[in-house]
């Protein structure tokens, strides 16, 4: 019964299961996928591989190490290759699925691990990635091998020695490139290379096909098995390799490689068509690259110019697969708060929606008969696997991973809201009423602002699903929107934020707030505001220009455009977004920084930041804390050790829960809301 359900708590984060990476068997009978759960005892996550029949039925768990990802079917459907970290470094394993109860065996034994397996068309080889530095590659080329340890004691000592030598190698650390750190780690001199290995036990050693100080993307085989396709930077000496990514075709027999794309676009994720005539991929113009939509393109294998397939569609493509007959592609795309799935026909360029709804599809695959498997979140469910059979217009859930959780909690509905900003542009947003809402009463507001700045939010946003429901459960009206700059509304809308991060978006957002207030259920004297990354920038910008909010929580935000550029792992980002280098007009960039206005902030401000955030280093939060504190404002800084920029999405579960509690308790303290 509804009345028996409970409001969602911060701890309920640990009850949510995520379903990812669906892969359909060659005969179309099974879907393999990854299921991720929170391991509260170890303060981490467990990832295992499951199977479910496309005909329906109860899913079957087939791995149990808690460290298994990337399931990939052999061409005959009898074996799954997957990546597992069950024995220290990740390696490729093979699991016979045609033999019930079969045990996986390791295929690779790479010194630095292996991942991203891809089966050859004949099923006799697997291409994969493994990192190696120049010295390690030279030793491979000479055929040098480390002798096998005599016993476990010697094996353990070797491991300890390698770990010690690795630490000593970087003490002190000499930096000669940018970026030199990313995620939560410093980069070393190892780069992901493409290897191939026979699946026969002990028959062959892995053979490396590349020898470049650059990271390669996941390999993809040509249908005839003669080549693998990949992407990497066209110049390893340049910084930000993703910006200079180019497609390559590598001949498997001798490793000869051919550059396929020109330097005016950044090109990624090549995927050859089943008939071998085309390579599909995504690309961005390098000019103003961070502001552009993702274009799905094809390149004729026999020679010719690439063709953009989604340019007039004017939406960013995400995941994509070829139709089995090579006549076109299916792809997911961001549009107006949803991520739905489309079919594109090569012959005429026609794009039609094939899977529609208020959902956020984040992984897909297509069967030989045209059936589509995909994972998605919806406003009512944070993550499940779905199946749309060939020739049908509707899809069905294939998993009930979150059913027990959803049966016991209250899930609030999202309501769409649209308004015209002062610039005359229509803006889309959503609000949720608090749990226990009573008509005629007013409630405090939790105003959420997205990051990016080119992220698109919607009511099915997986990374925010629990957080918004938690805000509503604690008695807040929840409000969020996609101001100019967001994806999903066309490239012109996305580029409208250029050189004006604060003024443009705040105009759209504050106009939406006024429209929401007209509905009468928000108490204008009890409003809180929060956001992360660019959303953190906007929180600090807004409270530096208005005192309308009683509480503010800025998370992992960019507060000083000048210092950010010199410390982030995306050093050209501000130069692209503002059309200038830091030395061109530093005073303009300073005035565009929230820090320049921080002395005016009198709204009680909580700063949440991770100590190992190399995307937006914690020095940004430290500066804002000092400025607000020195100017007499109310401010606190919460530092999360070991965490990076992805704290809210994939950080340690205890830290993620702590972050939510710090945020809402701050809201409560200054809006008069409930205290936990």
Question: Among the options 130, 506, 533, 610, which is catalytic?
Answer: 533
CA-nearest of 494, 492, 302, 512 to 422 is 512
The H-assigned helical ranges of 263-411 are: 403-408
Can you tell me the distance from the alpha carbon of 208 to that of 289, in angstroms, rounded to the nearest whole number? 32
Q: What are phi and psi of 334, to 5 degrees?
A: -85, 125
DSSP annotation of 67: B
DSSP 216-280: PPPPEE-TTSSEEEEEEES-TTSS-GGGGEEEEEEETTT--EEE-S-TTEEEEEEEE-TTSSEEE
Contact 364, 319 (CB under 8 A): yes
**Residues with Cβ < 8 Å from 275, sequence gap 6 or more?**
223, 325, 326
**Ordered strands of the 79-84 beta sheet:** 68-73, 79-84, 91-96, 105-106
Catalytic, 645? Answer yes
Whether 30 contacts 50, CB under 8 Å: no
Single out the residue of 497, 486, 478 nearest to residue 451, CA to CA: 486
Catalytic residue among 84, 645, 648, 662: 645
The separation between CA 499 and the C-alpha centre of its own chain, rounded to angstroms, equals 25
CA angle 609/646/288 to nearest 5° reads 100
Question: 397: closest CA among 382, 413, 409?
Answer: 382
Active site residue 533: yes
> What would the DSSP string read from start to end of 17-43?
-EEEEEEE-TTSSEEEEEEEEEETTTT
CA atoms within a 13 Å half-sphere pointing along the CA-CB vector of 4: 4
Of the candidates 92, 133, 333, the one whose C-alpha atom is nearest the C-alpha of residue 218 is: 92
Which residue numbers are catalytic? 533, 645
């Amino acid at each position: 019964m509804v009345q028996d359900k409970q409001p969602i708590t911060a701890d309920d984060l640990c009850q949510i299961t995520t379903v990812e990476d669906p892969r359909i068997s060659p005969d179309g009978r099974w879907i393999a996928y990854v299921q991720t759960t929170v391991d509260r005892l170890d303060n981490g996550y467990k990832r295992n591989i499951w199977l479910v029949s496309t005909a329906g039925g109860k899913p079957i768990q087939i791995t149990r190490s808690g460290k298994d990802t990337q399931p990939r079917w052999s061409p005959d459907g009898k074996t799954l290759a997957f990546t597992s970290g069950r024995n220290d470094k990740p390696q490729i394993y093979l699991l016979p699925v045609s033999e019930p109860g079969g045990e996986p065996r390791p295929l690779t034994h790479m010194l630095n691990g292996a991942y991203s397996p891809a089966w050859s068309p004949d099923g006799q080889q697997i291409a994969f990635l493994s990192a190696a530095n120049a010295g390690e590659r030279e030793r491979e080329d000479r055929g040098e091998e480390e002798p096998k340890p005599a016993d476990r004691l010697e094996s353990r000592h070797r491991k300890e020695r390698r770990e010690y030598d690795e630490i000593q190698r970087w003490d002190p650390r000499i930096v000669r490139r940018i970026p030199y750190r990313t995620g939560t780690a410093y980069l070393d001199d190892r780069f992901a290379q493409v290897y191939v290995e026979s699946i026969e036990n002990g028959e062959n050693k892995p053979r490396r096909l590349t020898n470049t100080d650059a990271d390669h993307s996941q390999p993809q085989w040509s249908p005839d098995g003669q080549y693998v396709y990949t992407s990497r930077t066209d110049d390893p000496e340049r910084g930000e390799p993703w910006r200079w990514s180019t497609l390559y075709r590598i001949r498997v027999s001798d490793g000869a490689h051919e550059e396929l794309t020109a330097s005016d676009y950044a090109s990624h994720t090549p995927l050859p068509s089943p008939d071998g005539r085309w390579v599909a991929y995504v690309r961005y113009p390098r000019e103003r690259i961070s502001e552009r939509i993702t274009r799905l393109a094809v390149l004729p294998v026999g020679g010719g110019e690439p063709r953009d397939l989604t340019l007039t569609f004017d939406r960013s493509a995400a995941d994509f697969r070829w139709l089995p007959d090579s006549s076109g592609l299916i792809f997911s795309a961001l549009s107006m708060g949803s991520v739905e799935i489309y079919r594109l026909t090569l012959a005429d360029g026609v794009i039609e929606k094939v899977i529609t709804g208020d959902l956020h599809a984040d992984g897909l695959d297509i069967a030989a008969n045209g059936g589509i498997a995909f994972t998605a979140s919806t406003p009512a469910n944070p993550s499940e696997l779905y199946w749309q059979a060939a020739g049908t217009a509707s899809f069905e859930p294939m998993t009930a991973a979150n059913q027990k959780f959803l049966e016991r909690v209250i899930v609030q509905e999202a309501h769409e809201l649209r308004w015209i900003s002062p610039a005359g542009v229509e803006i889309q947003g959503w609000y949720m009423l608090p749990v226990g809402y009573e008509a005629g009463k007013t409630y405090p507001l939790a105003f959420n602002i997205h990051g990016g700045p080119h992220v698109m939010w919607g009511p099915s946003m997986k990374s925010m699903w629990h957080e918004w429901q938690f805000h509503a459960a604690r008695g807040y009206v929840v409000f969020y929107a996609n101001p100019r700059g967001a994806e999903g509304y066309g490239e012109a809308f996305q580029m409208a934020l250029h050189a004006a991060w604060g003024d443009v978006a705040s105009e759209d957002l504050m106009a939406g707030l006024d429209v929401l207030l007209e509905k009468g259920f928000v108490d204008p004297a009890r409003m809180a505001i929060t956001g992360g990354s660019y959303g953190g920038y906007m929180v600090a910008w807004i409270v530096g220009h208005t005192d309308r909010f009683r509480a503010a929580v800025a998370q992992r935000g960019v507060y000083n455009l000048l210092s950010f550029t010199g410390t982030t792992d995306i050093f050209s980002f501000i130069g692209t977004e503002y059309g200038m280098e830091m030395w061109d007009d530093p005073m303009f960039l300073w005035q565009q920084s929230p820090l320049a206005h921080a002395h005016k902030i009198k709204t009680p401000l909580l700063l949440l930041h991770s100590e190992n955030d190399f995307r937006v280093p914690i020095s940004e939060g430290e500066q804002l804390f000092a400025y607000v504190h020195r100017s007499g404002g109310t401010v606190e800084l919460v530092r999360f050790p070991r965490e990076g920029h992805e704290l809210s999405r994939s950080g340690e579960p205890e830290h993620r829960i702590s972050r939510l509690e710090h945020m809402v308790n701050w809201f409560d303290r200054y809006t008069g809301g409930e205290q936990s």
